[in-house]
Structure 1
Amino acid sequence: MLKVLIAGGGIGGLSAALACVRAGTEVALFERHAEFSEFGAGIQLSPNVVKLLYGWGLQESLTEVAAFPDRLQVRSASSGAELGMLRLGEVMAQRYGAPYLTIHRADLHTLLLSALQRRGGAALRLGRPVISFSETDRDVAVLLAQDQIERGDLLVGADGGWSGVRQQLLADGTPQATGHLAYRALISQARLPVHLRSLQVTAWLGPLMHVVQYPVRGGEWLNVVAIVHGQVQGDMSHWDHSGNALELQQRLQSCCKQLRDLVQAVPDWRLWALSIRPPMRSGREQAGGRVALLGDAAHPMVPYLAQGAGMAIEDAHVLARVLEGGGPEAHARVPALLRYYALQRWQRNARVQATAIRNGKIFHARGLMAFGRNAAMKIRGEGLMDQPWLYRGV
């Protein structure tokens, strides 16, 4: 039985652990914090990802905590006019074999952790950051605190955008600032005026900004994310900063009344400075030797295609599938298996990264480019917004 070592206990790491245990491997997961937790706000999960989670036996659990919006609406942040609409709900489920859902990050994290604990087969080591690793022809060893060493057949770096595993493997520097700031908030819909409550996904597009809102926690809460241009002071690797509500309101003062009312109704915001790497250029950025990278450690991306968590979950699924098919000589073939994993993943991840970057330019367009965008969406709204190459999955 292969032994998989995993650095990082976020959504990517837990997904990798669950997928690998289901594939018949032994897992040891190392999380630097003393307890499992997931910060942040909401995430969107499209059919390509939901299909995988359902396949892991999580359909009932997701139904209990997620929201299932029936449409994605794009509106002008300036005028409030609808620019385009994509049907979700049953239409999306019938088209791609699974629905489109929205969920709080902490709820998804808890759901994955509970499923892993129920299944067994994974040793979960808290307060144990991976300091470094070393490889031989036969195995990989990770160095933990107090000079403790754990050995396995392969190491999965799922330790986020500022991955220490990636730094040792590739030594290619740190993610770079995009010049975009994300203000994120959650608010109970019961606290909002009726006209501001919503059970659909809405994207408001404006010059050098956009705002996305959608329901989470069965529709009881509304997740709101406002993206503006600017820089944040402080450590870029510390992604969670206090957000100034008045400053955000001032930035959006030229927007339509309904959007201004929504932003003013939210009392507390958290601020993230978005940092990314360029789209992947080869499989070398996904795996090397007995070490594989997964999620943000391999391909951090801007959230303008709503696929950051989704690509991590896809990575986990493909990695487990490759290991499961490794055959009786899998222990010796790990480097070749990981090269195959990288070959299956890096081009799709690169396309998602590049599409997300392009979307950011389209979302924040001004002048003639914005006019062209709006005209195209009115004519071909659903055709432009649907993503068959993505939503069909892996």
Structure 2
Amino acid sequence: MAVAYSREMLIAGGGIGGLAAALACNRAGWRARVFERAEAFGEVGAGLQLGPNATRVLQDWGLSDALQAVAFFPDSITVRSATGRRVLGRMPLGREVAARYGAPYAALHRADLHGLLLAAVEASGESVLHLGTEALDAAPSGATPESLALACRRASSDAGRSEGEALIVADGVWSRLRRQVTGAGDGEPLPTGQFAWRTLIPRDALPAPLRCEYAGVNVWLGARLHVVAYPVRRGELLNLVVLAEGLPASARGTAPQDWNAQAAPAEVAQLLAHAGTGLRDLAGAAPHWRRWMLHDRDPVAGPQALARERIALLGDAAHPMLPYLAQGAAMALEDAAELQRVLAMDIDDVRLCLARYALHRWQRVGQVQARARRQSRIFHATGPLAWGRDAALMLLGRRLLDQGWLWRT
């Protein structure tokens, strides 16, 4: 029996969260209209990790083959000391994790995840993508009590208006529309004093020993910094990220919203001056780097922070978090899966659907936000806390690295 697409959802933002929301709406029998400020989708960002809680959503959407075509599936997570080659802990991934949690652990380029979601949305035939169109404001349309009007602005024309039953705000950490749910007193995202440097290195360009050694997810822990490396794009590229507290003097002046600033290799070399030779050699193989400032928000404290009337928040617009659990994209996918579930209910009032969405999601995302902050303190520990962390990893590494509370949903 064919689905009757008789209801229309407006979506602000065409990133991973926005496209996941559009696909969720389509699968629940809703049309989606997506408004994205960028004039075109491009290959932006670098790597990301998806735990079983996220890849399970993609499986449920019939996207397993699409994921297999673009992702790398690491066989382990290995944690080392940044000052040497000492292994602190290791956990198998691969088939073992897939069997335990019903879905694999994947690493992929952000653009590849965006691309497979975009292809799925386009294949549904029930979404309209408005590129080069910025969503500005939402208010009751006045036409009927059941409609909401979204004011938009195109780069090349005057503002326009679009109508739908409700609005999903998925326009990222610097969302313009977030306050329509959280209220005028909601502040800006919180600067954390932490920065990230990222690069992509063709694995064929690495010396053979490094190419083989870093085939899984590798983490190095140091004082006030840590480094993560893992293959993406079926293993063709190595994604390398250095996360540190504070900024070298030569790099001062980074704009808070600039997530793609060019960074000199000397900045990374300075950060890793006391790291082991292998890690310095790996970072030295990168010809260029990008830098951005990490922001988050306090953990979501109640359902009222996620939905109000006909507007709901999703992804980073709702609950930006530090990357220490690798869950930013995963939480957006989980949000979308829950959105699909409530919209598919036999409920006429979309306000009730969105209220249920918020009720079912706020504790989960708030917990992940809080745990990510806690993880940052553990990863960047110094002194006795660092010694205790290393000892615990060496004794209980596999148990500590297995995030069953997170991956089992």
Superposition TM-score tier, normalisation by shorter sequence: over 0.9
Determine which of 271, 285, 290 is the counterpart of 1:270: 290
Query: Does the CA contact (< 8 Å) of 1:38 and 1:109 recur in 2?
Result: no
Is residue 2:152 matched to residue 1:144? yes
Q: Which residue of 2 aligns with 1:107?
A: 112
Q: Secondary structure at the match of 2:324?
A: coil
Determine which of 300, 310, 316 is the counterpart of 1:290: 310
CA offsets 1:300-321 (integer angstroms, 9 cap, x no match):
0000000000000100110111
4+ residue runs over 2 A deviation: 167-171
Query: Does the CA contact (< 8 Å) of 1:83 and 1:377 recur in 2?
Result: yes
Q: Secondary structure at the match of 2:24?
A: helix
Query: Does the CA contact (< 8 Å) of 2:170 and 2:315 recur in 1?
Result: yes
Determine which of 231, 236, 259 is the counterpart of 1:215: 231
Q: Which residue of 1 aligns with 2:360?
A: 344
Determine which of 202, 227, 231 is the counterpart of 2:243: 227
TM-score where L is the length of structure 1: 0.97
Give the 5 Å matches for 1:152-167: 152-167=164-179
Cα deviation, residue 38, structure 1: 4.8
CA offsets 1:269-307 (integer angstroms, 9 cap, x no match):
000100111111111111111000000000000000000
CA offsets 1:347-375 (integer angstroms, 9 cap, x no match):
10011111111111000111110110011
Q: Which residue of 2 aligns with 1:364?
A: 380
Q: Which residue of 1 aligns with 2:206?
A: 192
CA offsets 1:179-226 (integer angstroms, 9 cap, x no match):
111000001000010121122000000000000000001111100000
Q: Which amino acid aligns with 1:85?
A: R
Is residue 2:301 matched to residue 1:281? yes
TM-score where L is the length of structure 2: 0.93
In structure 2, distance between residues paired with 1:111 and 1:374: 39
Q: Secondary structure at the match of 1:144?
A: strand
Q: Secondary structure at the match of 1:214?
A: strand
Q: CA-atom RMSD, angstroms?
A: 1.1
Cα deviation, residue 152, structure 1: 0.7
Gaps of 5+ in 2: 1-5
How many pairs are equivalent?
389
Q: Secondary structure at the match of 1:162?
A: coil
Cα deviation, residue 79, structure 1: 2.0
Sequence identity (%) = 48
Q: Which residue of 2 aligns with 1:74?
A: 79
Gaps of 5+ in 1: none
CA offsets 1:308-340 (integer angstroms, 9 cap, x no match):
000001001101110101x1x52xx11121111
Is residue 2:187 matched to residue 1:173? yes
Query: Does the CA contact (< 8 Å) of 1:75 and 1:81 recur in 2?
Result: yes
CA offsets 1:131-182 (integer angstroms, 9 cap, x no match):
1110364221100122311111110000000101103332302101101110
Q: Secondary structure at the match of 1:267?
A: coil
Cα deviation, residue 2, structure 1: 2.3
Q: Secondary structure at the match of 1:111?
A: helix
